[in-house]
Every structure is written in structure tokens, then in C-alpha cells.
């Protein structure tokens, strides 16, 4: 009994042993904190591809806010990272329509619920082609989001694979230095 108390009582420990216990504790809590932060709160990513030009360029490094969508729903205009089943890696896209809304691409523009979407983040003169949607009206299912890349001519997005399930969304892209739009 006396032996175990001596192990925990700093008066009975050698200075070197106390230092190694402190270092072991610091290492343990550092690793645990890193894992918790990178899996739950925030994570870094590198953009690969040109689908979000000019907002994000190939090779840009971004932060993903992993916890935000645990407490709030994505908003129109949010730039998100998502996993699309059947495609390699994460994709970065912009939310343009929310659950229950209708989307139509016609005359080179995106219409949500029958109103042309104001997209100030796109360069002037960008034309949005309808892709697989044709000019049909698309109804976004509950718990799904319609996403598009900002580089409309070079983006694999909801025009091709449909609205994305909320469960596919990893997090919101944050800390970019570009203007974030919310409407």
C-alpha cells in the first residue's frame, strides 16, 4: 500500500521520473487534442481541380468547418466540401438550392423557385449550361441540396449527379479570404 502512494506522491519521485511523467501527459493530451480537433472541429484540405474557379484555384489550401452543420443547416451560397459516392475524394461546390426548392437552368442562368438566382461570386458573362437537367424543373428532395461549381463549364455537380444528400456534406469551407455570400 505504501509503495503505490509513493508512486503518485511527488515527494517520493525522482526529478527525472516526474519530468518524464509530465512529458508523457503533455504528449498524450496533445495527440488526443489533435485527433479531436481534426475529426470534429476543423480540418485542412487542398483544392484539386478547377471547378470552383475563380473563387478557389487548383492547389489552394482551405479550412473545413466540420462542426457548423451539426448545429445549423447549410445556406444558399455556402461553399461546402462533400463526398459524392462513386467519385474519388472530396468535392468543393456551392449550395444554390435548399431542400424542397425547385431548380431550373435556362437561358444561361439558374432559377430557384422560379426566380433568377443572383450570383455575385461569378464573373460577369458566365453562362450556366443545363447539362443533364435539360431545361426541366428539378425538385430538390428533403434533406438534399443542389450544388454547383463556380466554373460552370468545368464542374461535375448536381447538373450531372442530382442533389446531394446532407449526409454527404463534410463541412463548410472557411477562412479563405474571399467574400462569403449569404442571402
pLDDT at residue number 181: 35
93 given a catalytic annotation: yes
pLDDT at residue number 15: 61
Mean pLDDT by 10 residues, the chain (183 residues): 56 66 83 71 78 88 86 94 82 95 92 94 85 84 95 89 92 64 32
pLDDT at residue number 77: 93
51 given a catalytic annotation: yes
Pairing of strands 90-97, 79-83: antiparallel
pLDDT at residue number 74: 95
The one catalytic residue among 91, 93, 155, 158: 93
The one catalytic residue among 30, 33, 51, 91: 51
Secondary structure letter of residue 28 according to DSSP = H
Q: Write b or e for each residue in 134-144: b if 16 or more Cβ atoms lie within 10 A of its Cβ, otherwise e.
A: eeeebebeeeb
pTM score, two decimals?
Answer: 0.75
pLDDT at residue number 12: 59
pLDDT at residue number 138: 93
Amino acid at each position: 500500500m505504501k509503495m503505490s502512494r509513493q508512486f503518485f506522491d511527488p515527494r517520493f519521485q525522482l526529478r527525472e521520473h516526474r519530468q518524464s511523467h509530465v512529458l508523457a501527459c503533455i504528449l498524450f493530451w496533445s495527440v488526443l487534442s489533435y485527433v479531436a480537433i481534426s475529426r470534429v472541429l476543423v480540418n485542412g484540405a487542398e483544392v484539386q481541380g478547377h471547378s470552383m474557379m475563380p473563387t478557389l484555384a487548383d492547389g489552394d489550401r482551405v479550412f473545413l468547418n466540420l462542426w457548423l452543420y451539426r448545429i445549423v443547416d447549410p445556406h444558399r451560397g455556402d461553399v461546402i466540401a462533400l463526398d459524392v459516392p462513386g467519385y474519388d475524394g472530396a468535392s468543393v461546390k456551392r449550395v444554390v438550392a435548399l431542400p424542397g426548392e425547385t431548380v431550373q437552368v435556362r437561358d444561361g442562368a439558374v432559377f430557384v423557385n422560379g426566380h433568377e438566382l443572383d450570383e455575385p461570386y461569378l464573373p460577369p458573362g458566365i453562362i450556366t449550361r443545363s447539362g443533364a437537367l435539360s431545361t426541366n424543373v428539378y425538385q430538390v428532395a428533403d434533406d438534399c441540396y443542389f450544388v454547383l461549381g463556380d466554373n460552370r463549364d468545368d464542374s461535375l455537380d448536381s447538373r450531372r449527379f442530382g442533389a446531394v444528400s446532407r449526409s454527404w456534406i463534410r463541412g463548410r469551407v472557411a477562412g479563405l479570404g474571399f467574400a462569403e455570400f449569404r442571402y
